[in-house]
Structure 1
Amino acid sequence: MGEFLATNELHILRWLHIVAMVYWLGGEWGVFQTSYKVVNHKLPLEERARHMSTAYRIDIMARTGIISLLPLGLHMGYLWGVQPLGGGWLVAMWLLWVVWMVITWGAFANRTNELGNKLALVEDWTRYPLIPILIISALSSLMGNGPFAAGEGQMWFSAKILTYGLALIIGVILRIIMHEWRKIFPILAQGPNAELEAKLDKSIQLGRNVAYLYWVLILTTAFFGAVKPF
């Protein structure tokens, strides 16, 4: 088994990377479509709440894909020779991934109680330092200053990191919108509230507007990884 994994390490990582990308793109489309039911004022609140629960169940797979893409991409980047951090750094990266997954799935499993709120807040904060690190590293590398390789046929990796980092910004916006849903629905359960319904409409309109850019960034990230155009 060890020999098989060593021989096929890159192929296995590529396969997992494809699966993670599929869950990311497909999951975001599922949440987008479900959102139409969540904000439909003509539906009973109980049905809208069920659709919101479905959206969260779809979203956790998308988030799993998003989180997994980073260590998978960096690991493959090391094997391809386009990023220099390997060895103990890769081990530490995968250990951090395990912690990140525990927090993410813990927030999902406890999304109806206070523990889930705290874990969701921690998960949100993981992105705030990560996003500028990714974007700055990518831009620096594209200008030839590292840390990623910038030789002929290698700059696609930095471009991919850049679009991934930009997509994470959109992801944060969409997460804030879903947090807002979770706060609004318990209040709506107490009775009709036109002000909150209007707030829902505004938040979902914002989400739909940025979702189109989100898909463009996701597809562009996949394009750079698959085609490696420069």
Structure 2
Amino acid sequence: MDISTALLTFLHILIPIYWLGGDLGAFYGSTFMTDPKRSVAERMMALKILNNIDMAPRTALILAFPTGLALAWAKGWVQIPGEWVALAAVACLAWLGLAWKVHLDHGGGGGAKRLDIWIRYAMLVGLAVAGIAGLKGAIAVPLFIGIKLCILAACIALGLLVRRALVPLFGAIRTMATTGPTPETDATIIQVNEGARVLVLMIWALVLAASFLGIATPV
């Protein structure tokens, strides 16, 4: 294995490490945000830490495809022009910059946020179509790559569901921050987080499955 392929392999291995590690930190941090025994200041600080840590898995999700594609190309698993690989890398880096802009703007800047969401839907469809085509033999890729494409599409879909599930949380957080917690806001925060955690655990299972496939590299 030459140094460039080794570097691509190393970068691709870092994806599930930071994805699962960041998710674990956010998962644990959410327990402080939902704890009604904590002060409002403590719970708001936990929310801020959670939100920042969550950028690790969000970044990993965006980088999973370009690093995986580059590695598959370098190992000859996919037969496409190198220019396409470079274009995919540039496009995903631009998407990553957009995602970080949305984060640094604290979710503001409606245009950037809407564009980020539309990109996620486009990637979801594109990856699912490519993965299914690979599984059916319509495009020449190894079976495990077709499965991994479908897994990444499923992770994006679950991430979008997490965002939708968290919508009721924002109003409860604003109320807690301005007028103090109430039994209703606490119940909403706990309920929303419990629902989101189920979806996150499903993402963990998919990331672990994709990691195993990348190591086993079945036909």
TM-score normalised by length of structure 1: 0.86
Query: How far, CA to CA, are the matches of 1:187 and 1:118 in structure 2?
Result: 26
Alignment of 1:120 onto 2:113: yes
**Aligned amino acid, residue 226 of structure 1:** I
What residue number does 1:4 align with? none
Query: How far, CA to CA, are the matches of 2:165 and 2:27 in structure 1?
Result: 12
Give the C-alpha shift of residue 120 in structure 1: 3.3
Give the C-alpha shift of residue 177 in structure 1: 4.2
For structure 2, the residue ranges without an aligned partner over 5 or more in a row are none
Q: How many pairs does the alignment contain?
A: 218
Query: How far, CA to CA, are the matches of 1:54 and 1:17 in structure 2?
Result: 26
> Out of 191, 209, 217, which is 1:220 matched to?
209
What residue number does 1:171 align with? 159
Query: How far, CA to CA, are the matches of 2:44 and 2:25 in structure 1?
Result: 16
In the TM superposition, what whole-angstrom CA distance separates every residue of 1:177-209 from its partner, at most 9, and x where no partner exists? 455544432222222343333222221111122
Root-mean-square deviation (CA, aligned residues, Å) is 2.0
Asked if the contact 2:19–2:61 (Cα under 8 Å) also holds between the matched residues in 1, the reply is yes
What residue number does 2:65 align with? 70
Superposed counterparts of 1:72-151, under 5 Å: 72-111=67-106, 114-115=108-109, 118-146=111-139, 148-149=140-141
Query: How far, CA to CA, are the matches of 1:121 and 1:187 in structure 2?
Result: 25
**Aligned amino acid, residue 16 of structure 1:** L
What residue number does 2:16 align with? 21
Query: How far, CA to CA, are the matches of 1:53 and 1:181 in structure 2?
Result: 14
What residue number does 1:162 align with? 150
Query: Taking structure 1 as reference, are residues 180 and 102 closer, same or farther at Cα in structure 2, changes over 3 Å only?
Result: farther
- SS in structure 2 at match of 1:42: coil
Query: Taking structure 1 as reference, are residues 202 and 118 closer, same or farther at Cα in structure 2, changes over 3 Å only?
Result: farther
Asked if the contact 2:166–2:192 (Cα under 8 Å) also holds between the matched residues in 1, the reply is no
Q: Give % identity.
A: 22
Query: How far, CA to CA, are the matches of 2:118 and 2:190 in structure 1?
Result: 26
For structure 1, the residue ranges without an aligned partner over 5 or more in a row are 1-6
- SS in structure 2 at match of 1:171: helix
Query: How far, CA to CA, are the matches of 2:67 and 2:174 in structure 1?
Result: 38
> Out of 176, 185, 188, which is 2:176 matched to?
188
Query: How far, CA to CA, are the matches of 2:214 and 2:163 in structure 1?
Result: 25
